[in-house]
Structure formats: structure tokens, C-alpha cells
């Protein structure tokens, strides 16, 4: 029997589409705890590839128009977005507190207009309809507690033809998923344990959310089912991340 969203939440189910409320709150608590070592561990975990992936996303985004980053975290992506009318959103106030000066001081030095920061979630975007020319979300989609609702909201705030770009760890199939899990648990986990100096370090949640995360094809289908057009999902070198793209009709 198919469970309703409410029943899933009540039972705290974590799957490829939904994260139960208590798990999501715990995930957010752990994400906040990563702030002091966030970039250091990401660079190590990806053998420095994360910078190249972020550059790829920046190059895909349009040069003009309003662009929203959902789940901006401590500003690791936004700080290097040159020009553009850029907006950042995140549910964790402490992330925004770190991101705001980090991003806007760099922008000021480059002569770019400041980014506007908003507290909120993908599932309930605090913007009017047809407002953005593009949306990007980097290593955050996996953490959305209701991915379909977040995509529905993204469509609502995108102008017709507007683009969505999503990047997150890749899972091509079950075997690739097992390899990814081992990489996160042992490679990232051991380093995080050393850096954080604690056995129960917050990066354990990376493995947890990856385990329930769907495959590249699963989210191509989801984007199409939610109404996006020209949808693609491409695993990028060296097979550790996927970039999904789509357009609002
Ligand atoms: C791993 S960080 C990614 C930060 C940044 N985008 C980057 O490129 O490194 C994930 C971020 O997604 C945010 N997040 C989690 N659930 C979210 C949701 N439902 N809606 C929007 N953002 C969410 C978290 O608060 C966190 O700051």
C-alpha cells in the first residue's frame, strides 16, 4: 500500500524523495556543525575536484538576469559568481551569517552589486511567481525534505524558459552506489574524524543522505514528471557527481 506524505513523515521515512521531519532537523543540526571545516573536508573528499565542478555550474548559468542559489551553505559557490543579479537562500541562519560577508566582501572588491540573502527552504520559496531566469542548487538537493515540492516551487518562481541546474553526488546504479558509499564512509569519514577530532562527526550524514539518494535517471524522470523540459543528467569526470539541467516550459 502506498503511504501518504504525512504517513511517511510520521514514520520518519527517509527515501529518494522525502526525508522525515525529525531526520531532516537532525541533518540540519549536523550540516551546521560542518561549517568550520566545510571547505577543507570537501576539497579533500573530492581530490580538489569540487572547485572544477563549481566552475562548470557557473559556466552553465546565464550571464544576464536574476539567479537564485538554493541551499547556499557558507557561500562556497556564491563567492566566485562574478557579476549577475544573484540571490542566495538557506534554511540555516548560521550558514547565512557566514556566507553574507564572505560573498559580499569579494563582490565589493570586484565591483559587483551585493547578493541578497534569504532564510527559507526549497519547499517554500519566499519569492513571487516567474521571478528568476535561473536556479542552481549545489550539493543541497540531496538534503531537501520533499524533492518534488522543491522542484514544484522552483518551477513556480522560474520565468518561462528559465533554467534549473542541480549538482550532487552521482549514483549511476546499485554497484556505483556501493562504491560511493564506501568512498564516503571510509575516505571522507576517516579524514572528517581526524579533522573534527570526534568519532561521531557530522559528516556521517553525508553517507546517510547518499544511501537514500536516487540514481541519475531517477531524478531525470522526476524533473520531467514535475514539468521541466529539455531535461538532462550527466555524470561528470571522475564519476563522483552528476549535473542535471532542465528548463521551465
Ligand atoms: C552541503 S551544503 C551545500 C552548500 C553549497 N551550496 C556548496 O556548494 O557547497 C547543503 C545546504 O543545503 C541546505 N538545505 C538543506 N535542506 C534544504 C532545503 N529543504 N531547502 C533549501 N536548502 C536546504 C543546508 O542548510 C545546507 O546549507
Dump pLDDT digits (tens) for 155-185: 999 999 999 999 999 999 999 999 988 998 8
Q: What is the pTM of this model?
A: 0.94
Which residue's CA is the closest to the ligand 1 atom numbered 23? 71
CA distance 164 to 156: 12
For ligand 1, mutation pick of 39, 71, 78, 169 (most atoms within 8 Å of CB): 71
231 alpha carbon – ligand 1 mean position (Å): 22
| Domain that includes residue 242, residue range | 5-172+213-247
The 3-state DSSP class for residue 48 equals coil
Answer whether residue 6 shows pLDDT above 80: no
Q: In the structure, what pLDDT confidence band is assigned to residue 34 with cuts at 50, 70 and 90? A: very high
Mean pLDDT lowest among 23-27, 176-180, 192-196 = 192-196
SS3 content of the chain, % helix, strand, coil (to 5): 50, 20, 30
- Which pLDDT belongs to residue 9? 55
**Average pLDDT rounded to a whole number, residues 189-208:** 85
The total number of structural domains in the chain stands at: 1
Q: Is the CB of 145 under 6 A from ligand 1?
A: yes
Mean pLDDT computed over every residue of the chain: 93
With respect to residue 239, please indicate whether it lies within any of the assigned structural domains: yes
With respect to residue 106, please indicate whether it lies within any of the assigned structural domains: yes
**Average pLDDT rounded to a whole number, residues 224-247:** 96
With respect to residue 146, please indicate whether it lies within any of the assigned structural domains: yes
Dump pLDDT digits (tens) for 132-161: 999 999 999 999 999 999 999 999 999 999
With respect to residue 232, please indicate whether it lies within any of the assigned structural domains: yes
With respect to residue 59, please indicate whether it lies within any of the assigned structural domains: yes
142 alpha carbon – ligand 1 mean position (Å): 9
In our burial notation (b when 16+ CB lie closer than 10 A, e otherwise), range 43-58 reads: ebbbeebbeebbebbb
User: Any idea what the CATH number is for the domain that residue 86 is in?
Assistant: 3.40.50.150
Which residue's CA is the closest to the ligand 1 atom numbered 15? 143
- Which pLDDT belongs to residue 169? 94
Contact 65, 85 (CB under 8 A): yes
239 alpha carbon – ligand 1 mean position (Å): 22
CA distance 193 to 173: 28
With respect to residue 197, please indicate whether it lies within any of the assigned structural domains: no
Which residue's CA is the closest to the ligand 1 atom numbered 22? 71
With respect to residue 185, please indicate whether it lies within any of the assigned structural domains: no
**Average pLDDT rounded to a whole number, residues 98-102:** 98
**Average pLDDT rounded to a whole number, residues 23-39:** 92
- Which pLDDT belongs to residue 2? 66
Ligand 1 atom closest to 24 (CA): 16
With respect to residue 187, please indicate whether it lies within any of the assigned structural domains: no
Tell me the H-state helices in the chain: 5-10, 21-33, 38-45, 49-60, 93-110, 147-157, 174-182, 189-196, 204-212, 216-225
Amino acid at each position: 500500500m502506498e503511504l501518504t506524505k504525512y504517513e511517511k513523515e510520521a514514520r520518519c521515512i527517509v527515501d529518494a524523495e522525502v526525508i522525515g521531519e525529525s531526520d531532516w532537523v537532525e541533518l540540519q543540526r549536523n550540516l551546521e556543525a560542518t561549517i568550520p571545516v566545510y571547505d577543507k573536508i570537501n576539497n579533500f573528499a573530492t581530490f580538489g575536484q569540487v572547485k572544477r565542478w563549481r566552475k562548470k555550474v557557473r559556466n552553465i548559468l546565464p550571464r544576464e538576469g536574476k539567479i537564485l542559489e538554493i541551499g547556499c551553505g557558507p557561500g562556497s559557490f556564491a563567492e566566485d559568481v562574478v557579476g549577475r543579479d544573484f540571490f542566495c537562500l538557506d534554511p540555516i541562519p548560521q550558514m547565512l551569517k557566514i556566507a553574507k560577508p564572505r560573498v559580499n566582501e569579494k563582490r565589493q572588491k570586484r565591483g559587483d552589486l551585493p547578493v541578497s540573502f534569504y532564510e527559507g527552504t526549497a519547499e517554500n520559496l519566499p519569492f513571487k511567481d516567474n521571478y528568476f531566469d535561473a536556479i542552481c542548487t549545489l550539493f543541497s538537493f540531496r538534503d531537501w525534505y520533499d524533492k518534488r515540492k522543491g522542484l514544484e516551487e522552483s518551477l513556480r518562481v522560474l520565468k518561462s524558459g528559465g533554467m534549473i541546474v542541480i549538482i550532487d553526488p552521482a549514483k549511476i546504479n546499485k554497484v556505483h552506489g556501493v562504491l560511493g558509499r564506501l568512498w564516503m564512509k571510509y575516505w571522507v569519514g576517516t579524514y572528517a574524524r581526524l579533522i573534527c577530532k570526534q568519532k561521531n562527526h557530522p559528516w556521517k550524514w553525508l553517507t546517510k543522505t547518499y544511501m537514500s539518494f536516487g540514481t541519475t535517471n531517477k531524478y531525470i524522470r522526476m524533473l520531467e514528471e514535475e514539468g521541466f523540459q529539455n531535461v538532462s543528467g550527466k555524470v561528470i569526470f571522475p564519476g563522483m557527481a552528476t549535473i542535471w539541467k532542465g528548463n521551465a516550459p
